[in-house]
Structure 1
Amino acid sequence: MKLYSLHTVQKLPISLNEAWTFFSNPKNLNTITPDSMKFKTISGDDKDMFAGQIIQYKISPFPFINMQWVTEITHVDDKKFFVDEQRFGPYSFWHHKHFFTAIENGVLMEDIVHYKVPFGILGQLFHPLIVRPKLEEIFAFRKQKLIELFGKL
């Protein structure tokens, strides 16, 4: 089994409270996801984040490929971190940790994703060609969109 990881860090000139308020609202995922993904929340976005919350989405990671993705918020420590885990979707395994730390003049956000691609060796062959670049594109878009929304620190 090959487990991959992605680690991103971003500083924003907003308070810890502002960052937590934005990221703990599942509806804001649509704002920070590329339009090309055709991301849409189907259910579970009616309350701010809590442990045990199930959120269902529709996504289109590539043209003409539509799928549903179901995640569970498994851990929440108010204004410190939360974890979402895929229950059904495009990955064989998905575990995404979001950390928030108050720093001088802003907040430090850190994402750590561990994931496994499906289809065994075939999935591993496509990982560096398709999967990894797509994930990096999504997180690069997210970083730029957050700068547009909140500024740069």
Structure 2
Amino acid sequence: MAVYFECVTRTKMSVEQLFDKSLSIDAHTASMAQSGERAVGGVTAGRIGWGEQVTWRATHFGIPFKMTSKITALDAPHTFTDEQQRGPFKRFHHVHEFFAVRGETIMVDKIHFQAPLGPLGWIAERLVLGWYMPKLIRLRNQYLISEGH
């Protein structure tokens, strides 16, 4: 069983600006400062592009994690997809979509993930990851649309 959720973020920033910021390794690192998340392999700074990978190291719940993600689809400035190649999830698939609507940009994050470990993973998905992952995405998105970043 997998978990699916969406986060919708609205801003006055242009689609192009938000799209570029969403592909920024530096902006992602800054938005995840509380977990010490940092890029340690692949593209480690600047803008990541189609077919490129980044390996992240972070600590969540006091546990160190390492995850490699790859940009598997990119149609600038409308959508891109990142997928876990190696890491803590059995599956992690994140589609980012960008729309210009009546003078504002709407960004929609569509995320499917599945924890490993069968029944134990299912329990972790429902008790922890189901609320924790949307919280992280909302935190990241607030950083991206905040003034001065």
Residue 107 of structure 1 pairs with residue 105 of structure 2: yes
Structure 1 runs of 4+ aligned residues shifted over 6 Å read: none
Identity %: 21
Aligned twin of 2:84: 86
Aligned twin of 1:48: 47
Residue 140 of structure 1 pairs with residue 138 of structure 2: yes
Per-residue CA deviations over 1:18-69 (Å, capped at 9, x if unaligned) read 1122112222111222x33210011313452322101111011111x11211
- Taking structure 1 as reference, are residues 108 and 134 closer, same or farther at Cα in structure 2, changes over 3 Å only? same
Aligned twin of 2:61: 62
Q: Which runs of 5 or more structure 1 residues have no equivalent in the other structure?
A: none
Count matched residues: 147
Which residue of the other structure, out of 98, 119, 122, is the alignment partner of 2:120?
Answer: 122
- Structure 1 stretch displaced more, 91-100 or 126-135: 126-135
Per-residue CA deviations over 1:61-103 (Å, capped at 9, x if unaligned) read 111x112110010000010100000011110000000001112
CA distance in 1, matches of 2:9, 2:121: 29
Residue identity in the other structure for 1:134: Y
- Taking structure 1 as reference, are residues 118 and 140 closer, same or farther at Cα in structure 2, changes over 3 Å only? same
Query: What's the RMSD between the two structures over aligned residues?
Result: 1.7
Provide TM-score, normalisation by structure 2: 0.89
Provide TM-score, normalisation by structure 1: 0.87
Deviation at 1:147, TM superposition (A): 4.7
- Taking structure 1 as reference, are residues 49 and 144 closer, same or farther at Cα in structure 2, changes over 3 Å only? closer
